[in-house]
Amino acid sequence: MEPDQFTLDEANALIPWLAEKFQNLNLVRQEYVSIQERMNDPRINSGNEIEVRQLKSTSSQLARQLEEGVEEILDQGIIVRDLSLGLVDFPSLRDNRDIYLCWIGGEVRVDYWHEVNQGFSHRQPI
């Protein structure tokens, strides 16, 4: 069973894994977006039917990879807020009340937190 709450040390221990996970997911997401753009090109849709099927198949595979990657993060008890930014919240406690430890891709460690009824713009230093 995964933890319902994270300590700061537990959250920080997951940062290298999260950073790598988001880097990989971002590459998949970029490829997915590129294929979606190609599929929306009228020249592709009116052209080669085999190419359209291949694009749709690749798009579906990439979408599955994204879903599985996000699910893997969620299974750890981490809340994914923005995939493209690598923005996550770790449920935690502060002064006996529920809070979120907040991390965004590019940060070396978790240095911020916010109330559960507030978001990224209300982050406060730990």
The pLDDT value given to residue 94:
94
**Does the CA dihedral 76-80-84-85 come out positive or negative?**
negative
Answer for the pair 54, 47: CB distance below 8 angstroms, yes or no.
no
The pLDDT value given to residue 92:
97
The pLDDT value given to residue 44:
67
pLDDT in tens, 73-85: 999 999 999 999 9
Kindly tell me if the per-residue pLDDT of 111 is higher than 70. yes
Angle between helices 49-75 and 15-39 (to 10 degrees): 160
Structural domain contains residue 20: yes
Give how far Cα 100 sits from Cα of 26, 67, 94, Å: 23, 23, 9
Global pTM value: 0.86
Answer for the pair 114, 120: CB distance below 8 angstroms, yes or no.
yes
Structural domain contains residue 113: yes
Structural domain contains residue 91: yes
Structural domain contains residue 26: yes
Range of the domain at 16: 8-125
